[in-house]
Amino acid sequence: VLGWCRLRGIKLFEADGTLAAGVVVGVLFGIEFLCLYIGLEYTTVARNTLLVNTMPFWVLIGGHFLLGERINARKLGGLVLAFCGLVAVFSDGIVAGSDTTLLGDLLSLGSGVLWAATSIVIKRSKLVATSAEKLLLYQLAGAAIVGVLVMPLAGPPIRAVATLPTLALLFQSFYIVAFTYVLWFWLL
């Protein structure tokens, strides 16, 4: 990301009034992923994915109360249909599985709420006008700091080394972080 910014002449370290909001967004992003990954230890991937992706619900509700974005009939109808989908998916019982599934579900839901909070902070602050690359670096820095702080409590740093997970991590590091996140924030 830094190489891309240098190549394109994007200034990352000039004072533009985004530092405070950038720190908030970075911390939210770091805690969001902490909740997501800890949640995966206690619930299924399917449930985690569904609950994290409740983010649009929270953005809609938060946008209504915090950004002055009115909820119209069309948005409300979409919200109701989506919640009906949640009910259908969880028709097996909200705590199906083990007693720890509820903890995993709550952490996964918390991750979706934090993702929404990140979007709302961006929309409500000067970050809305900053470059996608600078926004991404705020979030990566926040996630790195949260990760370093939590790492001593997380158990063994390397559980098992294997080729496929290592390649997947490299793919995520270079393609997902360096390309798709920048694209996401550019579109935001």
Residues 20-59 have pLDDT tens digits of 999 999 999 999 999 998 999 899 888 898 899 899 889 9
Query: CA-to-CA distance for 132 and 140, rounded, in angstroms?
Result: 12
Banded pLDDT at 114 (limits 50, 70, 90): very high
If we measure between CA atoms, which residue out of 181, 146, 148, 54 comes closest to residue 107? 54
Q: Please tell me the predicted confidence (pLDDT) of residue 81.
A: 84
Determine the average pLDDT of the residues in 84-93.
72
Q: What is the pLDDT of residue 139?
A: 93
pLDDT averaged over the chain?
86
Q: Is the pLDDT of residue 95 over 60?
A: no
The burial of 113, by beta-carbon neighbours within 10 Å (0-12 exposed, 13-18 middle, 19 or more buried), is given as buried
d(CA 105, CA 43): 6
The residue among 169 and 120 whose pLDDT is bigger is 120
Q: Which residue has the higher pLDDT, 4 or 14?
A: 14
When pLDDT is cut at 50, 70 and 90, the band that residue 98 belongs to is low
Q: Could you read off the pLDDT of 69-78 as tens digits, one per residue?
A: 999 999 889 8
* Residue of 182 and 12 predicted with greater confidence: 12
pLDDT of residue 158: 65
Give the pLDDT score at 83. 80
CA angle 5, 137, 110 (to 5 degrees): 150
Q: Counting beta carbons within 10 angstroms of the beta carbon of residue 126, is it exposed (0 to 12), middle (13 to 18) or buried (19 or more)?
A: middle
DSSP state of 175: I
Domain ranges of the chain: 17-157, 158-188
> How many Å apart are CA 118 and CA 164, to the nearest integer?
31
Of 138, 27, 43, the C-alpha closest to 89 is 43
- SS3 per residue for 144-168: HHHHHHHHHHCCCCCCCCCHHHHHH
How much is the average pLDDT of 138-161? Answer: 82
Task: Measure the CA angle with vertex 7, ends 172 and 133; round to 5°.
Answer: 50
pLDDT tops 60 at residue 82? yes
